Amino acid sequence: MNAPMSRRSFFRICATGLGTSSVVGLGFSPQLALAEVRTFKLAQTTETRGTCPYCSVSCGVIMYTTGDKSKNIKSRIMHVEGDPDHPVNRGTLCPKGAALLDMVHSPNRLQYPVVREPGGNEWKRITWDDALTRVATHMKIDRDANFVETNDKGVTVNRWNTTGFLISSAISNEPGYLAVKMARALGMVALDTQARV
């Protein structure tokens, strides 16, 4: 035999029934809401493949940018994840790489060339064209002044010892190969890459 219902249980059941029927009466069905499929957060984004810039492993990443490059859409990288097709990491990222989005949107991130003139104490923004011209000019002046064609024994060495070249780890094999070829062709001896660090 069932136990008699207490006064408290009676009121609780009545309130629950009243609440449910009111919600349904307003046109809201909990069953429908539960069955709703959440929108895939990467839908409507553009994929760009890249290389994690942090260390020598050089894991492949995919960056997802809002919008489809239409003119009225403001692009913003909103998600970064490991590239499952990349032979190095097969989609995995270490905690540093997994937090790449923070670096992308960091207010301290350098996004354009700046220069501090000799004797100056301020960094001044310059264009990429200016930056490349300045680098090329400095390289030429230094190379012309210090290039060594032969050593003490008269052996041809074609060395340029007074300028070094630091190559990025954020580039893939092909640009890395070209950068080394370019520096060696100029006679540069001191080469290093951040990927080694």
List of residues contacting ligand SF4 (CB under 6 A): 52, 54-55, 57-59, 89, 93-94, 96-97
- The DSSP code for 29 is -
For residues 114 and 124, what is the distance between their CA atoms, to the nearest angstrom? 5
- The answer to whether 170 and 53 are in contact (CB under 8 A) is yes
Which of 93/183 has CB closer to ligand SF4?
93
Q: Which is nearer to ligand SF4, 61 or 188 (CB)?
A: 61
Residue type present at position 192: D
Cβ within 8 Å of residue 192, ≥6 positions away? 164, 165, 166, 167
Report CA Rg, the chain.
31
In the complex with ligand SF4, the residue whose CB is nearer, 55 or 148, is: 55
- Min separation Cβ 63 and ligand SF4, Å: 13
Residue 40 CB, nearest approach to ligand SF4 (Å): 24
Least Cβ distance, residue 125 to ligand SF4 (angstroms): 29
In the complex, which residue's CB is closest to ligand SF4? 97
Report the nearest approach of ligand SF4 to the CB of residue 183 (Å): 23
| Nearest residue (CB) to ligand SF4, 46 versus 92 | 92
- Residue 93, Cβ neighbours under 10 Å: how many? 20
